[in-house]
Structure 1
Amino acid sequence: MQLGLTLGYWGAGPPPGLVEQVRAAEDLGFDSIWTAEAYGSDAFTPLAWLGASTSRVRLGTSIVQMSARTPAATAMAAMTLDHLSDGRVALGVGASGPQVVEGWYGAPYPKPLARTREYVRILRDAIAREKLRSDGEHYPLPYPGGTGLGKPLRSTLHPRRTDLPILVAAEGPKNVALAAEIGDGWIPLFYSPYDDGHYRASLEEGFARREGGRPEGYEVVCMVQVEIDDDVEAAADRVRDHLALYIGGMGSKEVNFHYRVFARMGFDDECAAIQEHYLAGRKADAARTVPTALVEKVALVGPREKIAEELTAWQDSLVTTMVIGGDRTTLETMADLVGTR
C-alpha cells in the first residue's frame, strides 16, 4: 500500500505551508498528492503550482467535478498538466451531487451513471487524439443544431501519454461497478476495511463486464483521516465534525449519498439522528451524536500503537493508496508505519 497526501480544497484562502508540506511528503516517500474541488478553489491550479516544487510524486485530482467542465475541457487541462509534470497526472473524476451541480454550476443532475460513462469515453478519445464524435444524450459532439458549422476535431496537443489514468469516484453499488468497468481506478469516500463486502461484489460485477476482467494495476485510492493522540476520544472528536457534515449536511434529507454509505455499515439509526440535528442547525449536537465506533470504521484515531495495529486491516484491504493529511509528525509516523521511507 502506498501513501498519498490530501490537500483537499481550500476554505477562505490557501492554507499556509502547502509547498513545505508537499515537499515533506515527497521526501518521506509518499507516492502522490491529491487536490479536490467543491464550490471554491479548483483542483487543477494548485496541482500545477505545487507540481513545480516536486519532481517525483504523482499529481492526482480527487476529484474533478464533471459538471465544472466539458469532457474536452477536462482532457485539455489533464494533458497540459501531464506535459508540464513529465507524466505525473492521475485524473480522478466524479459526478458530485445535485446540491452542488444545480446550486453552483446551474446545471441539471440527470442520470449520473449514464453521464459518467459518456464523459469518460469522450475523455479517453480526446486523450488518444481521436476526432471527437459522440451521439450520447449528455455530451453530443459535434453539437447538434446551432450554426451547423461544428465538425469533429482532434486535439492539437499531442498527449504525453495516451494511457493517462482515469479514476472514477463512486459510493453507491452501481457507481462502484461502473468505476470497475470503465476506470483505471476507483476513488471511494468513507471506505471501511471492516465492511467492504458490498464493494468487493460491486467491483467484481464491473470487472466481469470489462473485456479481460480486472486490469493490471487497477487502483483504489482512499482518503483516510488520521488523528494521533493518546486520548482516543480526543482524537475521534477531531473527526466527528467532518463526518457530521457529510452524513447530515451534504445533500438533502431525501438525497444524501454519504448518509447511505454509513447506513449500509449498520449505523442507520445514528445517521438519522445526526441528520436530524444537522438539518435543524444543531451542528454541535450532530457531531456529538457520531459514535466512536463509526469513526473507527473509516479513520485511524488514537495512540501510535493502536493505529499500527489497526493499519493491518487497511493494508489487507482493497486500498492501494491511502491518502492522508496532517502535520509533519503525522506524515512521519505514517511513513514509518507503512514503510515508505
Structure 2
Amino acid sequence: MKLGLNLGYWQRNADDATDAVLAAERLGYDSVWTAEAYGSDAFTPLAWYGARTSRIKLGTSVVQLSARTPVATAMTAMTLDHLTGGRLLLGVGASGPQVVEGWYGRPFAKPLARTREYVDIMRQVWRREAPVTSDGPHYPLPLPGELGKPLKLITHPLRPDIPVYLGAEGPKNVALAAEIGQGWLPLFAFPSKIEEMYGAALADRGPDFEIAAMVMVVISDDVRSALDGVKMMLTLYIGGMGAKHRNFHADIIGRMGYAEAAEHIQALYLAGRRDEAFKAIPDELADGISLVGPPGRIKERLELWHKSPVTSLLVMGPRDEDSLRTVRDLVLS
C-alpha cells in the first residue's frame, strides 16, 4: 500500500505546510495532495510545495470542474507537471450543486456527462495529435460561429498522459472513474464495505487502477477525544456540505448503512441544533472511516484497510515529523 499526505485546503499564511511536506518526502511518502472548495485553489499551494521538493508526487484532491474550462485545467496541469518533472496526479471532480451553482454560477446538471467530456478534452490537449475539437453539449470547441477555430497546445507537454483521478461518491461516478480514469479518490471510505458498495462499479478497472482513500488519522491515547474530532468533521459534511435535498456526502453515509442517522443528522444541523447533530453521529461510523487512538490500536485497525481494494492511504491530520514517521511505520511495516 502506498502512503500519501492530504493537506486539504490552504487557509492562511500560517498554514504553510512546507515543513510537513519535506518531512513526508524524507520519510518516503509517495504523494502529497491539496484541495479546493470556495476558498484557496488547489494548484497554487501544490506549485509552492512542488518547488521545494524533488521526488514526492503532487496530487489535487480535487480540482473542481466548474472552476475552469477543460483547456484551462489542462494548461495548468501541463505547466505544473513540466515544472516538477512529471510528478502531477490530477484529481478532478464535479463537486456539488451548492458550490457549482452558488459559487461558480454554473449549472450542475449531468455531472457524469460533463466529466466524461471534460477529461476527453484535457487528453486531447496533452496528446497534441490534432487541434482540439469537441462536439459535446457542455464544452463545444470551437464555439459554433465564424470566429473560432480549432487550436493545438503551443507547449509540448512533458507527459501526454498525465494521470487523471476522479473524486467520486456515487456508484455511477465510481464506475466512470474505473472506465476513463487512472484512479478514484473516495472522500469517505469504510474499508470493510467498499466491495459491497462499489464492487460492481469497480469490476472493470484496470490492473494499475489506483484507489487513493482519504482517511483522518489522530494519534492519541484518548480515543474518545480522537473520535469526537472525526465526528465534528462528519457533522459538517453530513449536515451542511450540500443542498437540503441533494447532499452527496449524506447519501454515501446512507449507503454505508446509516441512512436513518444521516437524515436525522442533516435535519438537526439545518435546524441550527448542531450540538445534537454532533451527538447523533454513530461512533461506529466515525471509527470505521478513520484511524484513531494509540499506535497499537491504529495498527490493528489498519488490517481492514490492507484487506480492502484501497491502494493508497492519503492521511489527513498529522503534520509534525514524529507523527508522520509513526504513521509511515504503521502503514508500511
AA in 1 matched with 2:121 = I
Q: Distance in 1 between matches of 2:278 and 2:51?
A: 38
1:87-141: CA deviation from partner (whole Å, max 9, x where unpaired): 0000000000010011111111110010001001111111111311100010000
| Count of residue pairs the alignment pairs up | 329
AA in 1 matched with 2:158 = R
1:1-59: CA deviation from partner (whole Å, max 9, x where unpaired): 11111111123x24435110110111111000000100010011111111111110000
2:238 and 2:265 in contact (8 A); partners too: yes
Q: Distance in 1 between matches of 2:324 and 2:278?
A: 26
Q: Helix, strand or coil: the match of 1:8?
A: coil
Unaligned runs of 5+ in 2: none
Shift of 1:336: 0.7
Q: Distance in 2 between matches of 1:332 and 1:282?
A: 39
Aligned to 2:139: 139
AA in 2 matched with 1:126 = V
Identity, in percent, stands at: 57
Alignment of 1:78-117 (within 5 A): 78-117=77-116
Establish whether residue 298 from structure 1 lines up as the match of residue 296 from structure 2: no
Aligned to 2:184: 186
Shift of 1:282: 2.1
Q: Distance in 2 between matches of 1:286 and 1:15?
A: 31
Aligned to 2:175: 177
Match of 2:319 among 310, 313, 327: 327
Q: Helix, strand or coil: the match of 1:4?
A: strand
Aligned to 1:210: none
Q: Distance in 1 between matches of 2:319 and 2:75?
A: 34
1:56-108: CA deviation from partner (whole Å, max 9, x where unpaired): 00000000000000000000000000110000000000000010011111111
CA RMSD in angstroms, aligned pairs only: 1.2
Q: Distance in 2 between matches of 1:255 and 1:57?
A: 37
1:162-214: CA deviation from partner (whole Å, max 9, x where unpaired): 1110111110011111111110111111011111112121111xx2xxxxxx3
1:247 and 1:258 in contact (8 A); partners too: yes
Q: Distance in 2 between matches of 1:112 and 1:235?
A: 35
Aligned to 1:201: 200
Match of 1:313 among 295, 304, 310: 304
1:221 and 1:323 in contact (8 A); partners too: yes
1:233 and 1:292 in contact (8 A); partners too: no
1:191 and 1:298 in contact (8 A); partners too: yes
TM-score normalised over the length of structure 2: 0.96
Q: Helix, strand or coil: the match of 1:180?
A: helix
2:178 and 2:206 in contact (8 A); partners too: no
| Compared CA separation, residues 17 and 42, structure 1 to 2 (3 A) | closer
Shift of 1:277: 1.5
1:34 and 1:59 in contact (8 A); partners too: yes
Unaligned runs of 5+ in 1: 208-213
Alignment of 1:60-75 (within 5 A): 60-75=59-74
Aligned to 2:220: 229
Alignment of 1:234-253 (within 5 A): 234-253=225-244
2:218 and 2:292 in contact (8 A); partners too: yes
Q: Helix, strand or coil: the match of 1:300?
A: strand
Q: Distance in 2 between matches of 1:16 and 1:171?
A: 28
AA in 1 matched with 2:179 = E
Aligned to 1:211: none
Report which stretch shifted further, 261-270 or 113-122: 261-270
